[in-house]
Amino acid sequence: MHLNRPPNGVYYIKRPVELRAFINLLKKFRGYATTLITLYINTERPIPDVLSFLRSEWATASNIKDKTTRTHVQDALERIVNNLKGEAKAPESGMALFAGFHMESPGSYDWVYYVIVPPQPIYTFKYICDTAFHTEILEDQLHAGAAYGIVVIERGEAVIALLRGSRWEVVKTVEFFVPGKHHAGGQSANRFKRQIEHLAETFYKLVAEEANKIFLHMPSLKGIIVAGPGPTKEEFLEAGGLDYRLKGLVLAVVPACCANEYGVIEAIRNAREHLRESEYVRAKETMDRVMYYAVKKSDYIVHGRERALRALEMGIADVVIVAEELGEDAVLEVAMLAERRGARIEVVPREVEESKTLVQAFGGYVAILSAPVWILEQQLQAQAAKT
């Protein structure tokens, strides 16, 4: 797939899912020998300096013995230089340029040229000629986002999970025998109560030790959610085993049903207000908005590829939601059209449970409109009458 280039020839990527779609697209291209050019430019590197470097590489390429390789590399370098002329510097987060002749079949070549401004800064200048594009620096950005720790705890059981990007996972399960309350009377009751409290404290410290091992070595950790049924979550924090550096990162203490995967999901849901930077939580809120419009404001929502894209083209789509599950072609088609029309795009990652609802109930595409749907219907009817 080749995308229509935006007016300035540069794709500004805002979300990890869009970046992931671009990376998957770039990985499909193959060059004849080492003829595909990858160029990473940090903002500190003036474009005139980059142009001088590329002209020097063009001269060096004249020594390549294989004629096809030499011609492809020099042609690609000339086109890159012509496209970058007149620019003073790269955007604030730098740019990644991918150019060359994709070999569709032996002897058949197709020109490929993409310039991407990623969501996070590029800190290096790098030039590579190879048979494939090098996306490693962009891929690193997919894993560089904020991470959140989640501890769901009840008496005798706990799970420690990580929420990163569009997915969460349980990384540790802790089990320890803590008996329930003893109903005997007199001194026996007091003795058993003390024993139970001691076992509970031992368990809480065991969970804290595991949390310390996991979370203290994570520089990207942005916060921790502690959850569980009843008073166990507060008792865990009061037990004092959690490292003071982690205790300062506790964003919220929220209820959750149980110390298992369902409890993790409930903890994330109940702590949404504190996890707004999470791609997973944003996707959940996006789908909540879709369901609200579908039920309460059905005059301002359309779904399906044809109607959503038509709303975009007409300029009456405030936001278009697309399922990542449809593939990078679908995501990037919507992203580039939304960029040109000034609309917002939300991509629901395939790891989010509601992604299946988006695909099965809405065809993978939803547009929330700034004007009633009858305006779109009117135009569709007029177009049908003409044909």
CATH number of the domain to which 207 belongs: 3.30.420.60
pLDDT of residue 381: 75
pLDDT of residue 2: 55
Domain containing residue 179: 147-277
Do 233 and 328 share a domain, yes or no?
no
**Does residue 6 fall inside a structural domain?**
no
pLDDT of residue 305: 94
**Does residue 4 fall inside a structural domain?**
no
pLDDT of residue 382: 72
**Does residue 2 fall inside a structural domain?**
no
* Length of the chain as a residue count: 387
Do 251 and 313 share a domain, yes or no?
no
**CA quadruple 336, 339, 343, 346: dihedral, nearest 10:** 50
Q: Last residue of some domain: 258, 277, 296?
A: 277
pLDDT of residue 6: 57
pLDDT of residue 195: 66
Do 177 and 116 share a domain, yes or no?
no
State the burial class of residue 4 (Cβ atoms within 10 Å of its Cβ: 0-12, 13-18, 19+).
exposed
pLDDT of residue 95: 95
pLDDT of residue 189: 60
**Does residue 229 fall inside a structural domain?**
yes
Angle between helices 373-386 and 305-314 (to 10 degrees): 100
Pairing of strands 147-154, 157-164: antiparallel
pLDDT of residue 196: 63
State the 10-residue block means of pLDDT for the chain, 387 residues long: 59 84 92 94 93 96 94 96 90 94 91 92 92 92 81 92 86 79 54 67 91 88 94 90 93 94 94 87 92 95 93 91 91 86 89 91 95 81 71
pLDDT of residue 166: 78
CATH, residue 124 = 3.30.960.10
Dist CA 15 CA 21 (whole Å): 10
Q: Last residue of some domain: 106, 124, 142?
A: 142
pLDDT of residue 200: 76
Do 74 and 175 share a domain, yes or no?
no
Do 252 and 188 share a domain, yes or no?
yes
Q: Last residue of some domain: 142, 167, 190?
A: 142
Do 185 and 291 share a domain, yes or no?
no
The domain total for the chain is 3
Do 52 and 161 share a domain, yes or no?
no
Asked if 37 and 80 touch (Cβ cutoff 8 Å), the reply is yes
pLDDT of residue 261: 93
